Amino acid sequence: MGRADGSDRRVTTADVDDADATILHVDMDAFFASVELLDRPDARGKPAIVGHAGGRGVVTSATYEARRFGVRSAMPVSQALRLCPTAIILPPHYEKYTEYSGKVMDIFHEVTPLVEPLSIDEAFLDVAGARRLLGSPRRIAELIRSRVREETGLTCSVGVAGTKFMAKLASGHAKPDGLLVIPPAETVAYLRPLPVGALWGVGASTQASLERMGMRTVADLADAPLTVLQRAVGDATAHRLHELANGRDPRRIVTASREKSIGHENTFSVDVEDADTLRRELLRLSGRVGERLRKHGMVGRTIAIKVRFSDFRTITRSRTLAEPTNVGRRLFEEAWDVFEALDLHLKDTPIRLIGVRAEQLADAGGDALALWDPDEEWREAERTLDAVSARFGRGTIGPASLVRRSRDAEQAERDGRNPRWLSD
């Protein structure tokens, strides 16, 4: 993928277009920071960090000028300032981000009804049906970029390709404020020289395993016998990566009209400050969400947490997953990461309610799960728990950390009051 500071930027400069490259991935550039700069023109072109100074506040976003110093999202602000002492601190305004996200998504929907939001600042679009009215895929991408700039003052990067994976890869390489078209016929040639880490879902540990087997580039992986790849990363991951390395990604656009959510939340009888208690509760709630997803044959693309503090302030935060899932353990790990990223001034306040929700649901039997399932072992373990719970009742067995449950949670389940599950 393109580096966050734009030093590896690739854009389409020649008159490259392809009528079959109908999948677009549009990604706003440093979205939170860019929205803040609309009201701070004095900070434009300078290193700037969105976050709360002091304490253990974390970086919510950073301008590309700050990223060149190594500043990254979720990094402690204190560490970011050591890397970039001249950075300007911009307090976050989440209501603004929601407002501008709505404006951008409206533009997408005016171009095509086939829009799949991935998060507040990015989406896939299928523009096959828009070609007759608006022109070629590249022309449509240029139109979107122009309208976003004119109507919001923000910039975006667009990848144009024949598949979702390649479109997202292209937008990452085009950042910031760029456009990259990868014609479907050139997909494999584009992929082969890239490092294996460019493949979606290859993290540091998987990359290390592949490199130990001599697979450093996508070409190495694509040409390797499947049996060798299976020994390196396991059957499911081997098949998925082999498909990607050869340019195959059958996933279709999942429109926002299908979006639903399933969640659980718990209101504590006594406000909670203890991190271990909150962690156990998030684990329990995530397990319940995963159980309901599996029961309904669905997976979630986005994980969201809800936190209500003792003073009744209520916030929600979310994260879009690389692969949709119905595995409770994966939901928990992502939810806990989101919770830990909360600024100190929030986490130091006692908590009255906490909740977990899976959003942007899709059928578990669809293409998404078949291609993107890194949690095979956890999935099988939780299916076993489902079977035991169906026969002997919930709570018969479960994670060791939940064996000693709080009296609050036990009483909640006895009287049917909390935690409640929500589905809409």
| Architecture label for domain 192-245 | Orthogonal Bundle (1.10)
* pLDDT score for 195: 94
Tokens encoding 75: 């990094």
Cα–Cα distance for residue pair 90/52, rounded to 1 Å: 8
Question: What top-level class would CATH report for the domain 1-191?
Answer: alpha beta
271 is in an annotated binding site: no
Predicted confidence at residue 418, as pLDDT, reads: 39
Interior angle at CA 253, CA 180 and CA 237, nearest 5: 85
Q: Please, are residues 245 and 163 in contact by the beta-carbon 8 Å criterion? A: no
pTM above 0.75, yes or no: no
Reported as half-sphere exposure (CB side, CA atoms, 13 A), residue 76 has a value of 7
Q: How far apart are CA 179 and CA 140, in angstroms?
A: 11
pLDDT for residue 396:
47
Q: Among candidates 119, 167, 118, which has minimal Cα distance to 140?
A: 167
User: Do the beta carbons of residue 355 and residue 263 sit within 8 Å?
Assistant: yes
Q: Which two tokens stand for residue 286?
A: 């995530």
Rg over CA atoms, the chain? 22
Check: CB of residue 149 under 8 Å from CB of residue 107.
no
pLDDT of res. 390: 57
Distance (Å) of CA 417 to CA 303, 305, 350, 358: 24, 20, 21, 21
Q: Is 21 helix (H, G, I), strand (E, B) or coil?
A: coil
CB-based contacts of 337-343 (< 8 A; 24+ apart in sequence): 337/74, 338/303, 338/304, 338/305, 339/278, 339/282, 339/305, 339/307, 341/58, 341/74, 341/317, 342/58, 342/307, 342/315, 342/317, 343/51, 343/52, 343/55, 343/56, 343/57, 343/58
**Domain coordinates of the chain in residue numbers?**
1-191, 192-245, 259-423
Q: What is the pLDDT along the chain (424 residues), one digit of tens a residue?
A: 444 444 578 888 777 888 999 999 999 999 999 999 999 999 999 999 999 887 667 898 999 999 999 999 888 898 999 999 999 999 999 889 999 999 999 999 999 999 999 888 999 999 999 999 999 999 999 999 999 999 999 999 999 999 999 999 999 999 999 999 999 999 999 999 999 999 987 878 888 888 888 999 999 999 999 988 888 888 878 888 999 999 999 989 988 555 578 999 998 888 999 989 999 999 999 999 999 888 888 889 899 999 988 887 888 999 888 788 889 999 999 999 899 888 755 667 899 999 999 998 888 764 444 444 556 656 666 666 656 555 555 554 455 555 444 444 444 444 443 333 333 3
**Catalytic machinery residues:** 122
Q: How far is CA 296 from the centre of its chain?
A: 23
Assigned CATH for 259-423? 3.30.1490.100
Q: Is 121 annotated as a binding residue?
A: yes
- Which pLDDT belongs to residue 344? 58
